[in-house]
Structures are given as C-alpha cells and as structure tokens.
Amino acid sequence: MNKYHEQSSAPTAAMVIVVVLVLAVVLLAGCAFLGLMFYRNTTHKAMVAREHALKAEAQARKAAEMARERAEQAARVAEQQARIVAEEVSDTATNSGVTELQVTFDAEGHMSVAGEAIDWEQVKDKLGQLAGQPPSRVVILADGQTRMEPILKLLKAARELEIETSISTSHPEAEEAE
C-alpha cells in the first residue's frame, strides 16, 4: 500500500508543479501585458501633452510678437504726436518771442535736447540761462512709458526758477503734475 501511495503521489506532485509553473508564466505574461499597456498609454499621453505644449508655445510667441508690434506702433504714433505738438509749441514760442528749451525723455528717463543726450547738470545750466531771459518756457516731451521721477524733477527745478512749463505726453501722472 505504501508503494501504491508513492506512485500515485508522484504524478500528482508533478502536475501541481506544472500547474504552478503554468500559472506563474500566465501571471508574468499578464503583468508584462499590463505593463506594456500602461507604458503605451503613458507615452501617448506624454506625446499629446508635448504637442499641446508646443502649440501653446507657438501661440504665446505669436501673441508676444503681435504685442511687440503694437507697442512699437503706439510708440511711433506717440512720437509723431509729440513732434507735432512740439512744432506747434515751437512755432507759437517763436512768434511770441518766448525763449524755449525743449527736453525730450526716453522710456528710461534719459534726457536729450535737440536730439543730443544731456545730463542733469547740463539741464540745470540751461534752466539757469532761461531764468535770465524772460519770457521763457520749458517744453517736456515724453511718451507714456517714461519714468515719472526725472520729469517731476525737471518740473520742480523749472518752477523754482519761475520758468513756465509745458508737457506733451500720454502719461496720466505727468498731466496731473503740470
């Protein structure tokens, strides 16, 4: 009986081992399949996200270019308007015998007179000369992007010397200061 029992358990043990091995292979194949599907799905999502990012970057670049072009156009228009006003003021000053100093500011607040860069000391000297030649006027030309501090400093210095001032700018604070 012992012998029969040993013989019958040998094929059963072998079958259990085979079944366990088959289940292990099926489980590994299933895991590999799921891993492959997850990888494929993740890769696809990454590709779609990359495409969206590239499209968004292109749109942002295009919007920035359009904004830059609009800003340049607005600056050109403001410069033309400032020139027109300056010419009108200059014509009026010439016809009325008023001595005039035209100071133009760029966006960073640097000053120029007759197209030449000028520093604060030179402006103070010119203001001193104007104060000795009444009637006189300081015409300030600036666009809407100019820093206000240098404009206000020039206004204050001109007023201390009792020199008339005129501002041509699209900057709301400068118009209030005048």
In a domain, 83, yes or no: yes
Please count the structural domains in the chain.
1
More confident of the two residues 108 and 53 = 53
pTM of the predicted model, to two decimals? Answer: 0.43
In a domain, 60, yes or no: no
Q: Confirm if 148 and 178 have CB atoms less than 8 A apart.
A: no
Rounded distance between C-alpha atoms, residue 173 and residue 129, angstroms? 28
In a domain, 165, yes or no: yes
In a domain, 7, yes or no: no
In a domain, 84, yes or no: yes
In a domain, 85, yes or no: yes
Question: Is the pLDDT score of 38 beyond 80?
Answer: yes
In a domain, 50, yes or no: no
Range of the domain at 89: 74-177
Rounded distance between C-alpha atoms, residue 107 and residue 149, angstroms? 12
User: pLDDT at position 27, please?
Assistant: 96
Rounded distance between C-alpha atoms, residue 7 and residue 28, angstroms? 32
What would the pLDDT profile of 117-175 be if each residue is shown by its tens digit?
A: 888 788 788 778 777 776 777 777 777 677 778 778 878 888 887 777 777 766 555 55
In a domain, 100, yes or no: yes
Q: Confirm if 135 and 99 have CB atoms less than 8 A apart.
A: yes
Residue 84: which pLDDT band, with cuts at 50, 70 and 90? confident
Least confident of 36-45, 49-58, 125-134, 163-172: 163-172
Rounded distance between C-alpha atoms, residue 122 and residue 130, angstroms? 12
